Structure 1
């Protein structure tokens, strides 16, 4: 799995500078909010934040720290989806979607124990993923988990728009560019 290529795809989807009045994230460049940029050491004007800063943040905050590189060893398409979901909703949310799906597919703990949905990739989450893929097949199992993560993501988008009508400005784009 080429993380640089995945980051290029995310940046292409996210685009350049944005400061949409309905976006609670405020000034954003390459999909990196000002708050995330500041938390990762960038203090300059968001309008001119270098792409290399965004690439570094994506690699560290949205790939390495949440453990998606470990997921990629077993399920590369799933890891790519988790990265994209993490960029848009946060790594904890993306990882929580995976943990919830794995729990729902374990046939009442017959296949592997339930996970605590702690929103972190750890040894138990990786073991559950490994067991799920061994039972359901790497290709078929990964496809089903991708669908489950997409469904949970879509439901979250709808909820965000229902709870805050200003988010409806983004709803079509979220579904068009982020689901499936």
Structure 2
């Protein structure tokens, strides 16, 4: 646990974030070296600085580096109590906070620690769980695994998944090296489009509502199962007079059973997906 790790971690985070970005699919919007326009405007308002629009030339501002590092230190590093976290774990949680926000970073840390109450609050219970963890190398790996599962649930995964995946892999390599006392790899740009990965971009929770109409497991007369049953009831009185109609009625009965079974299987599948989604997004 060392405050010096902030200086050690910073080149890696800046390398991952890149320079100027304003990708239309990025929820962070206009961004320079990982600082969004929204965060920059709030910082300027708080410290009496003139508001300026972030551009590709922002790095030439004489006060940029000082303010950038102060933002990173106060709003991300200090916010996740990184000075109190073990080496390697501090870097994994810090980089996660920069990319996905402090609340999401703490939640993922809590999930990696298997804490029952995942609430995004980095209090004494969570810090004690970190301290008790027997292997911080494995804890870094668990954090990165939980982080990747979260990222894959975002609607923007298709646009930025390659870069995010490479970033998580790089964080894991560096974090595990630090956790075991190794120097680890040097900071390297990822050369992939990078974006903020925020909860607001999460996919909709899977629903079971579509099962009734699409597969016919519901009770409405407009469902597939309801239509099959209606036809069967109309033909049944004639079944005794015709072998063909009797066979049709039997086929309709079987089809109705299969439709009902399919609907139940669909609902089970969707409920399972919803449960897995809720667990990842907790």
Aligned position for 2:54: 46
Aligned position for 1:9: 12
Map residues 20-169 of structure 1 onto 2, 5 A cutoff: 20-41=23-44, 43-47=51-55, 48=58, 50-71=64-85, 75-103=86-114, 114=115, 116-132=117-133, 136=134, 141-160=135-154, 164=155, 166-169=156-159
Find the aligned partners of 1:94 and 1:66 in 2 and give their Cα distance: 8
**4+ residue stretches of structure 1 with deviation over 3 A?**
none
Report which of the two has the higher share of helix: 1
Find the aligned partners of 1:148 and 1:45 in 2 and give their Cα distance: 38
Q: Which runs of 5+ in 1 are unaligned?
A: 104-113
Shift of 1:178: 2.5
Q: SS of 2:24's equivalent?
A: coil
Shift of 1:86: 0.7
Shift of 1:115: 5.2
Give yes or no for contact 2:111–2:146 (8 Å, CA) kept in 1: no
Find the aligned partners of 2:87 and 2:162 in 1 and give their Cα distance: 27
Aligned position for 2:168: 178
Find the aligned partners of 1:5 and 1:145 in 2 and give their Cα distance: 20
Superimposed CA distance per residue, residues 17-46 of structure 1 (whole angstroms, 9 cap, x where no aligned partner): 111121121100001111111222262121
Find the aligned partners of 1:157 and 1:97 in 2 and give their Cα distance: 11
Give yes or no for contact 1:66–1:120 (8 Å, CA) kept in 2: no
Instruction: With the length of structure 1 as denominator, give the TM-score of the two structures.
Output: 0.80
Q: SS of 2:152's equivalent?
A: helix
Aligned position for 1:108: none
Superimposed CA distance per residue, residues 122-159 of structure 1 (whole angstroms, 9 cap, x where no aligned partner): 21211111122xxx2xxxx1111111111111111111
RMSD: 1.7
Shift of 1:117: 1.8
Find the aligned partners of 1:19 and 1:150 in 2 and give their Cα distance: 26
Question: Greater CA radius of gyration, 1 or 2?
Answer: 2
